């Protein structure tokens, strides 16, 4: 017991500031990496790999030679295949780092112009909601959506509520798919988005909602969804879906999100939306 206490004391004495910083950085990276894959299939794969790693010393101690051999060989091959298995998550991590490392390209800097754009979007969304016309609008942020834009029809038109409403008229060519907004322009419509693989999402949600969540998982875009069944307005940001917005709440949230982007306040947007709504309710 005394030897253990001496070992711990000597270890503490030998810890330097650089060692503490090193441990803190590694712990933060592991934490952020886990937060990025939480709720996805990769989380279950990671748990399986950790369980296999735990079984290797156990099988060795219990003298289970065949089990130990199989686990060691499987883990050796598994390390090579991890890059392939976790390719979507690795891409998300790199994009996440890139968004934080460089200036944001597609943000509207002028406050008056930003308010005009948001008012046009909110007006269109409200009218679409009232008529129960399904819609999916994507506001591009730091992550470029060139690949997504390439799947649709290029418009590159000045944003207006009338044009947005007309795009989503039922049985028109651009009705299905997403409309991409960059700064004060409608860049493309009828775009195809990646569907989310999250199996914890409400089964009642349709393809439009799943596509919005899917894009929000791999980019920092702001995704606005109008349900064609109920007219409910939803937001998908950072892999999180929040629902039941009215025009005023949507306007406040968009102003808040885009203003925070300008200040480079990059907290979890999904949580920020929820907390902002709670603050508004308390004030009211």
Classify each residue of 140-171 as buried b or exposed e, where b means 16 or more C-beta atoms within 10 Å of its C-beta: bbbbebeebbeebeebeeebbbebbbebbeee
pLDDT of residue 7: 62
pTM over 0.95: no
pLDDT of residue 185: 93
- Tell me the C-alpha distance between 109 and 130, whole Å: 31
What is the block-wise mean pLDDT of the chain (284 residues), using blocks of 10 residues?
65 74 84 69 71 83 85 74 67 61 54 88 96 94 86 94 94 91 93 86 87 90 94 92 93 84 46 50 42
């Amino acid at each position: 017991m005394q030897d253990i206490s001496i070992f711990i004391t000597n270890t503490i004495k030998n810890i330097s500031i650089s060692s503490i910083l090193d441990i803190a950085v590694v712990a933060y990276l592991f934490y952020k990496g886990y937060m990025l894959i939480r709720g996805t299939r990769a989380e279950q794969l990671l748990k399986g790999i950790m369980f296999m790693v735990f079984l290797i010393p156990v099988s060795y101690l219990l003298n289970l030679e065949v089990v130990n051999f199989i686990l060691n060989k499987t883990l050796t091959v598994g390390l090579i295949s991890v890059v392939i298995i976790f390719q979507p998550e690795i891409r998300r991590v790199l994009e996440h780092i890139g968004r934080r490392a460089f200036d944001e390209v597609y943000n509207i800097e002028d406050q008056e112009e930003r308010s005009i754009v948001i008012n046009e979007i909110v007006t269109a969304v409200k009218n679409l909601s009232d008529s129960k016309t399904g819609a999916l609008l994507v506001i591009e942020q730091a992550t470029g959506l060139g690949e997504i834009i390439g799947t649709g029809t290029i418009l590159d038109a000045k944003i207006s509520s009338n044009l947005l409403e007309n795009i989503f008229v039922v049985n028109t060519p651009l009705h299905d798919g997403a409309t991409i907004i960059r700064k004060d322009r409608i860049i493309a419509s009828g775009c195809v988005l990646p569907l989310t693989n999250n199996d914890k999402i409400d089964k009642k949600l349709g393809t439009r909602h799943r596509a919005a969540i899917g894009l929000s998982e791999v980019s920092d875009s702001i995704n606005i969804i109008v349900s064609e069944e109920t007219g409910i307005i939803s937001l998908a940001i950072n892999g999180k879906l929040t629902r039941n917005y009215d025009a005023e709440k949507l306007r406040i949230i968009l102003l808040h999100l885009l203003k925070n982007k300008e200040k480079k306040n990059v907290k979890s947007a999904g949580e920020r939306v929820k907390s902002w709504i709670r603050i508004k309710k308390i004030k009211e």
